[in-house]
Chain A
Amino acid sequence: MNEIYYLILLPLVGGLLGLLINRLRSELNFLGFFLTLFFAVRFFIASRTQIISFSLISFAGIDFRFYVDSLTGLIILFNAVFAFLIWLYSLKAVSKNPRERFYYIYIALALSAANGIVLSGNLIFLLIFWNLLVFSLYGLLLVGKKDSSFAARKAVIIIGVSDFIMMLGIVMLFVKAGNANMPLSPRIQLTSSWFIASYILIMVGAIAKAGSMPLHSWIPESSKVVPASTMAYIPASLDKLLGIYLLTRISYFVFDISGSLPIRLLLMIIGAVTIIAAVGMALVQKETMRLLSFHAVSQVGYMVLGIGTGIPVGIAGGLFHMLNNAIYKACLFLSAGSVEYRTKTTKLDQLGGLGTRMPITLFAFFIASLAISGVPPLNGFFSKWMVYQGIIKFGKESNLWPIFLIAATFGSVLTLASFLKLVHSLFLGERPRALDKVREARFEMVVPSLLLALLCIVFGIFAYRIPLSNLIFPSIPFRVNGIGFWSPILATILILVGIILGLIVFMFGTALKPKRKQIFIGGEVLEPEEISITGPNFYSSLHNLDLLEKTYQFGEGGAFDFFNYLVGIASGLAIIFKDVINRILVGIYKGIGRIISGLGGFISLLHNGELYNYVGWIFLGGIIILLILVF
């Protein structure tokens, strides 16, 4: 299968040649990305009907092999699609960045690594590409709007730590099971504590890549300093695809978690907490990119929740949500990036009323907002609905299911609420005077966001016919039942309740604000923005509720940030090591040195150079020898 090599090498070759021959960069990059897309489509079609598996090299019991089934084909296709669209968008969006040259090589490297991850049929082989992705992520984050070195360092530490954890898990699997092939037959049941530990360690790596809590904090951090296209590419689409891909692979192809309730509950709890906590943080953000980045975290919760149910429809829903999320989240980041490109700001209180100026961007952004909030008939609705179905069916196994259901619904409510705020503050409301000259974004930037928005609609309206039966169902090793539309009433009601509640939260936010009135202030003229309702403050009343205020303060202060704890613990240990242990050791050595030199000093005292002293010693020695000889 030569396509496998093409898929891994073509983007990299295109990127490298583009880096070397700067004059032809765009053309060479285009060739690289376009050919990859072409082969990805062919590959996708081929993967529908056959399973390909072959070994590259094999030594020391490690089988470096490729494995391709329909799940592989699906992820490969979307990797290539996203990379191509992001490349198109970046042509204009990143063109003013001084490090533009290096930006594309990292985009290409990330695509190569992502394809490699998906194609590899062995977890150790996968780890290689997984590491390569860290490398490209680091480089990509360094190409920032402003100094992004701290964000890059934070990302590389968090991802690096989770990679090491995952490496330990994979090695444990490899050592005990004899190989780390993927899929593994027979699948490993989670009965012994060794394998449970191994599964959990690999799982940590997978959900950290997807951006689930508590290993998410690099995403909001970098959202402030890197271009929107970087955010749309890595955390919003590629990382979701890869993390959830790996989670599915290890949960149902290598291990078998359907037999182990505690593990599934663990996954679902992680999912539920992620949904609620991240969306709560998103609600009070005052900056576009940061707000979106918290949603990028929050949505992972649904996927993890769906996959954790162990119910076919839930798993399918989780995978479908992964796909949908990648589509609408990339669309959101890209359109928000277009707004930033034209207005040069991401602060919500400086934006507003851009709807008439940027109608296509508004359209794309609005569609994607509705999709992420789960409004029918868009794609986000169907995947969420399938996840709900999964949770309800999960009710047969555990009584905890209402909690997950409430978390999922509540998350949906808050998502809708926060997107109403976002749409309002970007496109509706008063337009600040500074933005009067804003035009629609450039063609290259509008096209990708528009395409993605259309995909949201297509995947929604024809959910069953196009994505589900062609993309999702063939990719999981189960038969999915119970997809009759609208029949399970509970899930549908919950979705509608979610939408209504979201609107109520929105009303609640606006109702607490005074409406605009004519104000008389002694003849002074006020700017419109000084008297209008600004979107960013919709939910500041929420922020100020006593109960939540403390939590928000903690959250903004970094209390939920794994990075802070890691660095804190490590620095604490380092202080103990350096200032206690090392100091004591040095003290001991110095003490020994002192004792020896003291001894030397004592002996040198005896040699004072006076004759009678030495004569005395000679006599003393003679007496001792005599005594020994006599007795």
Chain B
Amino acid sequence: MIGFDFFVDKFGIFLTILFGFIGLMSFIYGLATMREKGHRLEYYLMLLLLVGSGIGIALTYNLLLMFIFWEISTFAIWRAVAYYRADQDLSAGDLSFILNFGAATIMLLGLLMIYLDNGTFNIFQIRVINNTAAIFVLIGILTKSVTVPLHIWLAPAYRTVPSAIGGCLAGIGENLGVIVFMRLFVTGTFFSASFFNTVAWIAIASSIIAGGIALRSDNLRNLLAFSTISQIGFILLAFAVGGTFGVVGGMLYILAHALAKSGLFYGVGIVEDSTGSDNLKNISCLLRASPTLAVAMAFLVGSIVGFFPMIGFFSKLNVIIGAVEHSAVFGAGAIIAAVFTLLYSTRFYHELFFGDKCESKKIKFKRPSYTGITVVFILALVSLLCGIFFYKPMSFLLAGGM
């Protein structure tokens, strides 16, 4: 029933390298920012658990093993969110734990049903998945890979998580659900079209709604949270429509989003530490205070929006090709979501770095650590290089052989 059930394919390698890199960046950023914080042992443990569980899910073919890693990640997220142990941290942590754990329990029911139907947990040998089981598993997936209407836990979690581990949460934790979705549903060919259509609609609706909420958010972390929900919608849409472009687009989107969002998380962490505020209304004109950060964040925001020299462009292009192959309406929905992304991203960037009468204003900005800025810059640079040499990751994934 369970053993050392791991396998390596191109997607697995891709995700392993990505998660390892994101974890490394998070670690380096943490070296600079977590130095004075208490109980650091817990921080390192949770960081490693998160990275390890992500890699485990990417490489296993046994559903039960997958579920065990899934629960490890839930646990790690819980402790990471409640890291500072004030009342609000604890309640945010509990909220994320209760919701994720509850959904995971439902998911476990679904997995057991799959086991009873097929007699195995090996995803390569699964032949049938009945509708109830699929919906149960989907509930777990949509909760971990936050999708409206199961998104409620993410914004409080983002607000309290230390930014050093928040990058990992955004880059690894949120992707686990869609990876399971891809492994379980997309790689098999046995499933009804109406199921995928429903998931695609949920993904588009989630992406647009979250984009709209991000446009109205003034709190930096809230904005990042809803931006993540909106981007995860694109990934889910990509896997739901399937096909070569859909799957490759989804994987590329995981890459683009993980790099950009964790970079933005660290950037926001630096801004918060230096200005002492986490509200867009109170921060402006940072371009003069820290041009390096402004340049790096411009690349990252560009990658989220999907402008060319960044990898975000190709992931968005592939997702949209995949969506249009399925139906032009999905393509149009994705475009509307992309327009929302453009609007909230430009608002976020401009309110942070520009503003009225910047020349004469006195800006309160404590000089941030070089390590932190370097990490943001490296992530921006990697996004840029992946975009310029887009055919490398793309042909690597295409050779993955669906």
Binding site for B on A (CB under 8 A): 57, 59-60, 124, 127-132, 134-135, 147, 149-150, 153, 156-157, 160-161, 164-165, 167-168, 171-172, 174-175, 194, 197, 566-567, 570-571, 573-579, 581-582, 585-586, 589
Task: Check: B115 CB closer than 8 A to any chain A CB.
Answer: no
Q: Are B391 and A577 interface neighbours, CB within 8 A?
A: no
Closest to A132 in B: B308
Q: Are A589 and B152 interface neighbours, CB within 8 A?
A: yes
Q: Are B152 and A164 interface neighbours, CB within 8 A?
A: no
Contact of A171 among B305, B313, B331 (CB under 8 A): B331
Interface residue SS majority, chain B: helix
**CB interface residues, B 348-393, toward A, < 8 Å:** 350, 353-359, 391
B315 to chain A, nearest CB (A): 13
Task: Check: B212 CB closer than 8 A to any chain A CB.
Answer: yes
Contacts of A174 in B (CB 8 A): 321
Distance of A135 Cα from B306 Cα, bound (Å): 11
Task: Check: B398 CB closer than 8 A to any chain A CB.
Answer: yes
Q: Are B320 and A171 interface neighbours, CB within 8 A?
A: yes
Contact A156-B331, Cβ < 8 Å, known A59-B394, A574-B215: no
Q: Are A135 and B308 interface neighbours, CB within 8 A?
A: yes
Contacts of A164 in B (CB 8 A): 335, 338-339, 342
Contact of B354 among A149, A571, A589 (CB under 8 A): A149
Q: Are B212 and A578 interface neighbours, CB within 8 A?
A: yes
Interface residue SS majority, chain A: helix
26 contacts between A and B (CB under 8 A): A59-B394, A60-B244, A60-B398, A128-B308, A134-B307, A135-B302, A135-B307, A150-B354, A156-B342, A157-B346, A160-B305, A160-B339, A161-B339, A167-B320, A168-B320, A168-B324, A171-B324, A175-B324, A566-B343, A574-B215, A574-B216, A577-B213, A578-B213, A581-B148, A582-B213, A585-B148
Contact A131-B340, Cβ < 8 Å, known A172-B331, A573-B212, A574-B216: no
Contacts of A586 in B (CB 8 A): 152
B177 to chain A, nearest CB (A): 18
Contacts of B151 in A (CB 8 A): 585
Q: Are A571 and B215 interface neighbours, CB within 8 A?
A: yes
Q: Are A175 and B209 interface neighbours, CB within 8 A?
A: no
B197 to chain A, nearest CB (A): 17
Binding site for A on B (CB under 8 A): 148-149, 151-152, 208-210, 212-213, 215-217, 244-245, 248, 302, 305, 307-309, 313, 316-317, 320-321, 324-325, 328, 331-332, 335, 338-340, 342-343, 346, 350, 353-359, 391, 394-395, 398
B305 to chain A, nearest CB (A): 7
Q: Are B212 and A576 interface neighbours, CB within 8 A?
A: yes
Distance of A194 Cα from B245 Cα, bound (Å): 20
Closest to B307 in A: A131
Contact of B350 among A129, A153, A172, A574 (CB under 8 A): A153
Distance of A165 Cα from B342 Cα, bound (Å): 13
Q: Are B354 and A147 interface neighbours, CB within 8 A?
A: yes
Distance of A248 Cα from B192 Cα, bound (Å): 44
B299 to chain A, nearest CB (A): 10
Contacts of B328 in A (CB 8 A): 172, 194, 197
The list of the 7 closest CB pairs from A to B, nearest first, reads A131-B308, A149-B354, A577-B212, A574-B212, A574-B215, A578-B216, A574-B216
Contacts of B152 in A (CB 8 A): 585-586, 589
B357 to chain A, nearest CB (A): 8
Closest to A588 in B: B149
Distance of A575 Cα from B332 Cα, bound (Å): 22
Distance of A394 Cα from B346 Cα, bound (Å): 44
B269 to chain A, nearest CB (A): 24
Contact of B394 among A60, A567, A570, A576 (CB under 8 A): A60
Distance of A102 Cα from B295 Cα, bound (Å): 12
Contact of A574 among B213, B244, B302, B317 (CB under 8 A): B213
Q: Are A570 and B309 interface neighbours, CB within 8 A?
A: no
Closest to B323 in A: A171
Distance of A566 Cα from B336 Cα, bound (Å): 11
A33 to chain B, nearest CB (A): 21
Contacts of A589 in B (CB 8 A): 152
Contacts of A573 in B (CB 8 A): 208, 212
Contacts of B338 in A (CB 8 A): 164
Q: Are B212 and A147 interface neighbours, CB within 8 A?
A: no
Contact of A567 among B210, B308, B343, B395 (CB under 8 A): B343
Contacts of A165 in B (CB 8 A): 335
Contact of B346 among A156, A172, A197 (CB under 8 A): A156
Contacts of A575 in B (CB 8 A): 216
Contacts of A576 in B (CB 8 A): 212
Contacts of B148 in A (CB 8 A): 581, 585
Q: Are A570 and B308 interface neighbours, CB within 8 A?
A: no
Contacts of A566 in B (CB 8 A): 339, 343
Q: Which of B244, B307, B356, B398 has the most CB of A within 10 A?
A: B307
Q: Are B335 and A59 interface neighbours, CB within 8 A?
A: no
Distance of A132 Cα from B384 Cα, bound (Å): 12
Q: Are B317 and A124 interface neighbours, CB within 8 A?
A: yes
Contact A132-B309, Cβ < 8 Å, known A60-B394, A175-B324, A570-B340: yes
Distance of A574 Cα from B218 Cα, bound (Å): 13
A117 to chain B, nearest CB (A): 11
Contacts of B209 in A (CB 8 A): 577, 581-582
Closest to A57 in B: B391
Closest to B318 in A: A60
Distance of A283 Cα from B109 Cα, bound (Å): 72
A330 to chain B, nearest CB (A): 26
Closest to A134 in B: B307
A595 to chain B, nearest CB (A): 14
A59 to chain B, nearest CB (A): 6
Q: Are B302 and A147 interface neighbours, CB within 8 A?
A: no
Contacts of B350 in A (CB 8 A): 149-150, 153
Q: Are B335 and A175 interface neighbours, CB within 8 A?
A: no
Closest to B210 in A: A577
Q: Are A175 and B354 interface neighbours, CB within 8 A?
A: no
Q: Are A59 and B398 interface neighbours, CB within 8 A?
A: yes
Contacts of A131 in B (CB 8 A): 307-309, 313
Q: Are B343 and A168 interface neighbours, CB within 8 A?
A: no
Distance of A200 Cα from B46 Cα, bound (Å): 52
Contacts of A577 in B (CB 8 A): 208-210, 212-213, 216
Distance of A576 Cα from B346 Cα, bound (Å): 21
Q: Which of A132, A567, A578 has the most CB of B within 10 A?
A: A578
Contacts of A135 in B (CB 8 A): 302, 307-309
Contact A570-B317, Cβ < 8 Å, known A134-B307, A135-B302, A157-B342: no
Contact of A570 among B343, B354, B358 (CB under 8 A): B343
* Given A59-B398, A149-B354, A194-B328, 12 additional A-B pairs, CB 8 A: A60-B394, A60-B398, A128-B308, A135-B308, A135-B309, A147-B354, A149-B353, A156-B346, A164-B335, A577-B209, A578-B213, A581-B148
Distance of A576 Cα from B209 Cα, bound (Å): 9
